[in-house]
Structure 1
Amino acid sequence: MTTPPTARPAAPATPARDWRAPAAACTTVILWASAFVSIRSAGEAYSPGALALGRLLAGTLTLGVILLVRREGLPSRAAWPGIAGSGLLWFGLYMVVLNWAEQQVDAGTAAMIVNIGPILMALLGAKLLGEGLPRRLLTGMTVSFAGAVVVGLSMSGRGDSSALGVLLCLVAALSYAGGVVAQKPALRHGSPLQITTFGCLTGTVACLPFSGVLVSEAAAAPLPATLNMVYLGVFPTALAFTTWAYALARTTAGRMGATTYAVPAMVVLMSWLLLDEVPAPLTVTGGLLCLAGVAVSRTRARGRRTDGGPAVAEAGQVTGDRP
């Protein structure tokens, strides 16, 4: 008499990776990079405040129509502190100050200083939101920031920077980081579309004092500059900020901040393809460092299997579910 073989327990199924959040983050990076190309045209005809208000008006109108079509309504009351914080800091203050700063310093200097923002974002997220600071994230951000510095040095002019411009860039970096950290808790109480729509509306209201300037400058501005301003509102603002919020709801502020280090590399590529600006070898090197750092920060560390079970993933990794 033979003993029947004992059936082995089935191996746990490996969950399929959800690519929606990474795809949303990539969409954000590409559209934000395209914004730098459009700002060059619109910024020649519009002052910083007027450009920010025109961009926000176009973004708010687009988001409002989508919100009405989808019938999502208002977010819960608990979301409004985060909406107000992100709207005032990120949609309002950041856009005006950055436009102003780029009139005071060259693009390379602005890129170097503003890219302090993702580092501040990770630190604030760890302090205020209880997010971890995994070693891979810190390593990747260090590599990417070094790349941003190299890109900035390669693009910096001589004698074009001012103390006011540097200060404005620092304010932009702080408002950028603060706005993202304020937005993160709000995403627990509303959809990405709701949080983005009402954050954009908050920024628009804050910029209404520039209405008179916008009207007068729009009357004299060439059509391409106005079309670029509308493009900034519809795509890098309405669409890109929504895909950003979607991805942010599914990962940490630190990791999303690290992802934005791909923007300088994309700007270099788009300037080459669309503006026929051939990048210097040092600029290409810096762009590649930015991308390498992003790749490191987005990878997952394999945990040790001590009990035969699945490895424990590193804290703060991107998942398909909300945290």
Structure 2
Amino acid sequence: MRTTPSRRPELFAAGAATVTVVLWASAFVSIRSAGEVYSPGALALGRLLSGVLALGLICLLRREGLPPRPAWRGIAISGLLWFGFYMVVLNWGEQQVDAGTAALVVNVGPILIALLGARLLGDALPPRLLAGMAVSFAGAVTVGLSMSGEGGSSLFGVVLCLLAAVAYAGGVVAQKPALAHASALQVTTFGCLVGAVLCLPFTGQLVREAAEAPASATLNMVYLGVFPTALAFTTWAYALARTTAGRMGATTYAVPALVVLMSWLALGEVPGLLTLAGGALCLAGVAVSRSRRRAAAVPAATPAATPDRGEPTAEPRQEDAGRV
């Protein structure tokens, strides 16, 4: 079946969102490895610097200029909240709680995105989106409960993960208006730069830890910067510019299911039946949230009678002239 030109932007946005969730899921595997060597702030700074270098090179090749002035407010807020604060706090929180608790608390983020998007951006909250998010959140709770108890939890760690979820939601909602004035590449590049500047106080830690870290941990940190940050945040911004913040937030519920699969394949961590069931619920909820009601079938028009007695043929109505 040939794709109609009117549907191509929608398909491109869906493809960009898919790239994002796959790369963000892979980030959890890399963070697990690099986080054993690098402290939260140093890991965030190294990741962001790698991302800035990759994005800066692409901007030079594409001759992207500075973002227009109206975009800077959203870029600055998303850079502070999402690229900077979120990455440090999430790394820190995952050292205080087990993986299941972290996944459970952070997955409050998409719900906050939908609520903030409706309140601040005027986004609609259609029943299918709400239903899909409810199903996905139930799946995230299932995955979280099935993985809890594998490292202990603390109230401080839960608070850190909750702060990360709030920062994530605020960053996404702030980024959406900026995309009306600047390209996805510009918004991502300068947001990443703002986050890197915020993390500069961790430079000393990064230098000391990089000198002693094994090559595998450093390569994982660079991977985090180039792919889950530079590439995935750009494809995210591209897709976000073409849909609502709530629908994009709901899409990220596919990440827990993909993390379970990748951990199984890459780390040999065989998931239990409860974990698999939760992952299936996450994917089902994403499918529901991104589905749309079928348009009502338009009744076929009655064919006009063939003039065989010389009757005059009716002229097309004025409002139908543009459809001929």
TM-score (norm 1): 0.90
Q: Which runs of 5+ in 1 are unaligned?
A: 1-12, 310-323
Q: In the alignment, which residue of structure 1 is the partner of 2:181? A: 189
For the pair shown, the structure with the greater C-alpha radius of gyration is: 2
2:24 and 2:150 map into 1 onto residues whose CA distance is 27
Identify if the C-alpha distance between structure 1 residues 101 and 293 changes in structure 2 by more than 3 Å, giving closer, same or farther: same
Counterparts of 1:281-296 in structure 2 under 5 Å?
281-296=273-288
Q: Deviations over 1:150-200 (max 9, x none)?
A: 000000016711010010011000000000000000000000000000000
2:5 and 2:288 map into 1 onto residues whose CA distance is 23
CA contact (8 A) 2:179 2:187 kept: yes
2:130 partner SS: helix
1:88 and 1:301 map into 2 onto residues whose CA distance is 37
1:14 and 1:50 map into 2 onto residues whose CA distance is 46
Q: Deviations over 1:131-167 (max 9, x none)?
A: 0000000000000000000000000016711010010
Q: Which runs of 5+ in 2 are unaligned?
A: 302-324
**Which of 234, 238, 249 does residue 242 from structure 1 map onto?**
234
2:155 matches 1:166: no
The Cα of 1:86 is off from its aligned counterpart by 0.3
CA contact (8 A) 2:253 2:282 kept: yes
Q: In the alignment, which residue of structure 1 is the partner of 2:106? A: 114
Q: In the alignment, which residue of structure 2 is the partner of 1:140? A: 132
Identify if the C-alpha distance between structure 1 residues 152 and 69 changes in structure 2 by more than 3 Å, giving closer, same or farther: same
2:124 partner SS: coil
Aligned residue type for 1:76: P
Q: In the alignment, which residue of structure 2 is the partner of 1:40? A: 32
Q: Deviations over 1:193-235 (max 9, x none)?
A: 0000000000000000000011001111111000000000000
**Which of 62, 74, 77 does residue 69 from structure 2 map onto?**
77
1:46 partner SS: coil
CA contact (8 A) 2:56 2:189 kept: yes
2:92 matches 1:100: yes
Identify if the C-alpha distance between structure 1 residues 308 and 83 changes in structure 2 by more than 3 Å, giving closer, same or farther: farther
Identify if the C-alpha distance between structure 1 residues 94 and 14 changes in structure 2 by more than 3 Å, giving closer, same or farther: closer
Aligned residue type for 1:217: E
Identical positions, percent: 75
CA contact (8 A) 2:98 2:151 kept: no
2:89 and 2:192 map into 1 onto residues whose CA distance is 16
Aligned residue type for 1:258: A
Q: In the alignment, which residue of structure 2 is the partner of 1:318? A: none
2:116 partner SS: helix
1:42 and 1:305 map into 2 onto residues whose CA distance is 54
The Cα of 1:302 is off from its aligned counterpart by 2.4
Aligned residue type for 1:120: L
2:96 partner SS: coil
1:244 and 1:150 map into 2 onto residues whose CA distance is 26
Cα-Cα RMSD: 1.5
Q: In the alignment, which residue of structure 1 is the partner of 2:220? A: 228
**Which of 48, 57, 61 does residue 65 from structure 1 map onto?**
57
Q: In the alignment, which residue of structure 2 is the partner of 1:10? A: none
CA contact (8 A) 2:93 2:158 kept: yes
The Cα of 1:307 is off from its aligned counterpart by 8.7
The Cα of 1:305 is off from its aligned counterpart by 5.9
CA contact (8 A) 2:99 2:150 kept: no
2:27 partner SS: helix
Q: Which ranges of 4 or more aligned residues in structure 1 deviate by more than 3 Å?
A: 13-18, 303-309
Q: Deviations over 1:6-42 (max 9, x none)?
A: xxxxxxx894443110000000000000000000110
Identify if the C-alpha distance between structure 1 residues 159 and 218 changes in structure 2 by more than 3 Å, giving closer, same or farther: closer
The Cα of 1:304 is off from its aligned counterpart by 4.0
**Which of 218, 240, 251 does residue 259 from structure 1 map onto?**
251
**Which of 23, 37, 47 does residue 15 from structure 2 map onto?**
23
2:202 and 2:150 map into 1 onto residues whose CA distance is 32
